[in-house]
Structure 1
Amino acid sequence: MKFETILEEIDGFGRFQIAILILLCTSRMVLPCHFLLNNFIAAVPPHHCDISTLEKSSEELFINLTQEQKLTVSLPVREDGEPKSCEMFAEPQFQLLSNNSNRTDLPTVWCQSGWVYDNSTFISTLATEWNLVCDKKSLTKTTNTIFFVGVMIGALAFGFFCDKYGRKTMLLVSYILSIVFGFSSTFANSYILFAVLRFFTGFSLTGISIISIVLTIEWADISHRSTIGVIGSLAWSVGYMLLAGMAFLLTDWRTLTMTVTAPLGFAVLTWWWIPESARWLLANGKVERAQFYLDKCANINRRQKLSREKLETLSNIEVQENQAKNYTYFHLVKTPRMRWLTFLLGIVWYGVASTYYGISLNITGFGLNMYLTHFIYGAIEVPAKLTIYCFLNIIGRRKCQSGTLLLTGICIGINIFIPKDLWHVRAIVATLGKGLSEASFTTIFLYTTELYPTVTRQNGLGYTSFVSRLGVSIAPLILLLEDVWTLLPQIILCSLAIISGLVALLLPETLNVKLPETIDDIENPRKKDVSKESSLFSLEVKSQLG
């Protein structure tokens, strides 16, 4: 007898499961606020060279000039007439006050005394705090890369320790470490210290990311796994949109970072009511503890507690899963089918993450202000999730995964050929692509939890999260390639989406298939559940949506 049979008796989608979703909601909303925080705290406002050195050298001549005239004689201009950001004249060019003066071939130098920043939008950002502009401008993107390298390494660490010490215990560790490093980063007095603390913040937040999805999925029955996955991911979209509002109101990077970290304090309080995964407890021989949570689930869902016979069934499951105690990442590639599955999922996850964040981190250039673009990108995720929810249960996980990735690539490709003056068309296509990329992300999280067996599920998510964060950490660097060729970043992201979409077609379908519990379940292909409940599955979904 499988664990799903037990869940059917105590209700695999009742008040108990809804309570878990609510308890994890706060921490899930914090994730996008930190993952996309760099869009705002590392923003580079308009700036130009500090011309104080030129003023001092010709103080008598400067004294009667307006500020605009001072800039005219001190700074070269771009083609659009705005002052250049990184250059100044070697000497004041007073002849430029005459409209007929020629600006070409005038000697220039790099900024000598720092920069002056436009503070109308931001009080303080990383760029203004540590002058991360001109030859140091890549450091603003590097901060994001460092953060996601931390997320990448954290995925491996939490994946291993969660399977060893349990989901709930490591969730608390993740909460506490995220609070400590998140708040500590706001007191950094140097760029290097800030980058180090952001690395550890990313490392710590990974636990929340992978544990929360596993806990909710492992407590859900077959017919509601997609429902649980989509509902749980809505918290991400809410947090995504809230970040735009908080960033608009809080224009100092330290204050904003503190604000997005603070809700984790409340999450620590809710942790006490979060149950451990009964699947994990059984796989590790903790039958009595599993019985406690299963009885609690039955009580809250107003079902009968497990009978003595079911307790004996739990003992049999314990024996069956007892060997799971020593499973490691090596078991993801130990056997042929597991090795092939791990290889394919790595490619798909890399493509999904790269395209999602490649779009999410590019919130300028569409004719809208950055706050509105960010909010729209978050808002489109809600209908995208609800739409993919319907299709997941109609055409299956594999086709949804492949289709959303291919369509995302097409949207990115279309925007390559649309002129920039048609900003409204570009914005619509970009928003559509963002929604599709979110749909692919929602699908892959659910899909992965269904593909890996219980004994290696957390390790599997740790591995795939590692691969995805590798893609995410490189995404900001891909965007820097626009300095080489404006279209190069979009061409790379388009190619990644299409290639990973084609690879997704090679994965097995998991619609209406029982969750695998051992590696043997993977090596011996599963068959679809042909029970009456499963045959009526589509009708159940339609009734829920209707």
Structure 2
Amino acid sequence: MMFENILEEVGGFGPFQIGIVVLLCVPRIVLPCHFLLNNFIAASPPHRCDIGTLGAGGGGLFGNLTGEQRLTVGLPLREDGAPKSCEMFAEPQFQLLANGSAGADLPTVPCRSGWVYDNSTFAATLTTEWDLVCDRKSLIQTTSSIFFLGLMIGAVTFGFLCDKYGRKKTLLASYVISIAFGFASAFANSYVAFAVLRFITGFGLTGISINAVVLGIEWVDTRHRSCIGVIGGLSWSVGNMLLAGLAFMVNDWRTLIMVVTAPLGFAVLTWWWIPESARWLLAHGKVENAQFYLDKCAKFNKRQKVASKFKLETLSNIEKPDKSYNYLHLVKTPKMRRLTLLTGIVWFGVASTYYGISLNIGGFGLNIYLTHFIYAAVEVPAKLLIYVFLNLVGRKKCQAGTLLLTGTCIVANIFIPQGLWHVRAVVAVVGKGLSEASFTTVFLYTTELYPTVVRQNALGFNNFMSRLGVSVAPLILLLEDVWPVLPQVIICSVAIVSGLVALLLPETMDARLPESIDDIEKPRSVKKKERWTPRGGIK
């Protein structure tokens, strides 16, 4: 007897499943607030050298100058007339008061006494707190990479723990770790301490990411998996839009971290009502616990009489693994090895493309709050459209198509002149929407590709590949100093290659979830006339 048959009988999509989605909405809203937090807490406001000590030996002449005159004799100017950010004159150049030149040929030195920042937009950021500018500006993107490195390690760890100890227990552990270290990072007194705490916060948040997806998918029937995947994805978009508003209202980085972490306290309270995956319980021989949750599902979905048909003996007949599974089982057999390789490449491409676009929110003539909000808002229609196409053309074509079109948008922006910023902004927004559609698809697609016995291990591995791509994305953006369009060339190449690789994956639309590795290695042949009925089963 297959689990899909049981799930259809107790209600594969009803109040019980909707309740699970609702309970997992709050933690999923928190995820983008942390994942893209660096756009705001590490923002670099306009700055210049502090020249307060420049005229210390000038016999009082420097002190008699107005503020504007001090800037003239103390700082060289850029071509646009603004003071340079990282250079100052070694000595006051009083002759500039008379000739009004920019002093381009005069000797300069790096800033000696720190920097003065424009606090009109941000009261305090990581940049202003620890002077992450000039020769230390790479540490801004490094902060983001360190956080995503924590996500990468967490993906592997929680992927193993979830398959071994269950989805629900590890979800609680993720909540606790994320809350504790999220708040702690807001009180960091050094850059190193902050980086370490953000690493551990990212580690904890990964457990929320992968558990929320799998718990939702494993409790719904075949026909509604794409619906649940898209609804859950909309929570991410809501959180992403919310981040722009919160960052606009809270312009101090420490306070902002606490604000976006606080909702996880509510998530801990709602955790008690989240059910364990009955599919996982049956796969690990915990039949009585599985029956408890299946009865509860039937009760909520008003299928009590149907639920009574399934006794312990019936549930015990569902195929269970005769051994424990780990990451090695992803590569032990030929078809699993091929599947693991292909999905790993796709996840790397999806993540590096999405975050390569999301972390680059400047250069379109709009302030960063509005740009971030537009980038987030476009995800909503993208998710709704991808839901329609997932059920029309299938998972494989959606996955490949969204990646290839994202790469096309990035290529187009390379050739559109900088002066046409409004056109560039529109193309970038469309590319952002497509990249989000590819991310929505890959979570659902991967969950359907792998069997139950290694599904969390598979998501752990693929999340590892995803976070590897995410960790690389901020570093790719640093290559802008080498060649302005090099980051875009790299990101579009990755998107196109991963899109082509997606075409090599099998289609999973309307197929039952595989339970064992044998279902992958020796798939059951299905005639074209066979189809899933609303009550479960194939006819």
Q: Give the TM-score taking structure 1 as reference length.
A: 0.96
1:479 aligns with 2:477: yes
The letter of the residue matching 1:52 is G
Q: Give the match for residue 46 of structure 1.
A: 46
Deviation of the 1:134 alpha carbon? 0.5
Structure 1 counterpart of 2:496: 498
Aligned partners of 2:181 and 2:25: how far apart in 1? 21
Amino acid at match of 2:210: I
Query: Hey, what does 2:189 align to over in structure 1?
Result: 189
Letter in 2 for 1:196: V
Which residue is 2:343 aligned to?
345
Root-mean-square deviation (CA), in Å?
Answer: 1.4
Between the aligned residues of both structures, percent identity stands at 73
Spell out, residue by residue over 1:307-330, the C-alpha distance to the aligned partner (whole angstroms, 9 max, x if none): 34554221111xx2132x510000
Q: What residue number does 2:442 align with?
A: 444
Q: Which residue type is aligned with residue 431 of structure 2?
A: G
Displacement after TM superposition at 1:428 (Å)? 0.3
Given residue 123 of structure 2, which amino acid in structure 1 is its aligned partner? I
Determine the structure 2 residue equivalent to 1:36: 36
In the TM superposition, residue 101 of structure 1 has moved relative to its aligned partner by 3.9
Q: Is the 8 A contact 1:513 1:527 kept in 2?
A: no
Q: Is the 8 A contact 1:512 1:528 kept in 2?
A: no
Whole-Å separation in 2 of the counterparts to 1:264 and 1:529: 47
Distance 2:100 2:371 in 1: 41
- Offset, 1:230: 0.3
Q: Distance in 2 between matches of 1:227 and 1:453?
A: 20
What residue in structure 1 maps to residue 369 of structure 2? 371
Question: CA-to-partner distance for each residue in 1:264-294, whole Å, 9 max, x for gaps?
Answer: 0000000000000000000111000000000
Decide whether aligned partners of structure 1 residues 22 and 387 sit closer, same or farther in structure 2, where only a CA change above 3 A counts: same
- Cα deviation per residue 1:498-535 (whole Å; 9 max; x = unaligned)? 00000000000000000000000000124458687637
Shift in Å, 1:104: 2.9
Asked if structure 2 preserves the Cα contact closer than 8 Å seen for 1:353 and 1:441, the reply is yes
Equivalent residues in 2 for 1:170-181, closer than 5 Å: 170-181=170-181
Aligned partners of 1:529, 1:301: CA distance in 2, in Å?
Answer: 32
Indicate the residue corresponding to 1:251 in structure 2: 251
In structure 2, runs of 5+ residues without a counterpart are none
Match of 1:468 in 2: 466
Amino acid at match of 2:204: S
SS at match of 2:64: coil
**3-state SS of paired residue (1:515):** coil
- How far 1:81 sits from its partner (Å)? 1.0
Distance 2:269 2:378 in 1: 31
Q: Does 2:311 correspond to 1:313? A: no
Is the CA contact 2:410–2:488 (under 8 Å) kept in the aligned structure 1?
A: yes
**Structure 1 unaligned residues grouped into runs of 5+:** 538-546
* CA offset digits 1:180-199 (Å, max 9, x no partner): 00000011100000000000
| Structure 2 contact 48–115 (Cα < 8 Å) conserved | yes
**Quick one: distance in 1 between partners of 2:75 and 2:128?**
20
Distance in 2, matches of 1:526 and 1:474, equals 40
Query: Does residue 88 of structure 1 match 2:82?
Result: no
Match in the other structure for 2:295: 295
Aligned CA distance change for structure 1 residues 294 and 46 (closer, same or farther; 3 Å)? same
Change (3 A) 1:247 1:101: closer
Residue of structure 2 in register with 1:360 after alignment: 358
Amino acid at match of 1:321: K
The equivalent position to 1:455 in structure 2, one of 445, 453, 456, is 453
Match of 2:122 in 1: 122
Larger mean Cα displacement after TM superposition, 340-349 or 73-82: 73-82
**1:105 Cα shift?**
1.7
Asked if structure 2 preserves the Cα contact closer than 8 Å seen for 1:124 and 1:251, the reply is yes
In 1, Cα distance between the equivalents of 2:257 and 2:361?
19
Contact 1:514 1:529 in 2 (8 A): no
Q: What is the letter of the counterpart of residue 307 of structure 1?
A: S
Q: How does 1:230-241 map to 2 (within 5 A)?
A: 230-241=230-241
**2:321 corresponding residue in structure 1:** 322
* Pair 532,307 (structure 1): closer, same or farther in 2 beyond 3 Å: farther
TM-score by length of structure 2 reads 0.97
Are 2:417 and 1:419 aligned?
yes
Q: Using the TM superposition, give the Cα deviation of residue 218 of structure 1 relative to its aligned residue in structure 2, in angstroms.
A: 0.1
Aligned pairs for 1:67-216 within 5 A: 67-101=67-101, 103-216=103-216
Is residue 2:301 matched to residue 1:262? no
Distance in 2 separating the partners of 1:232 and 1:105: 59
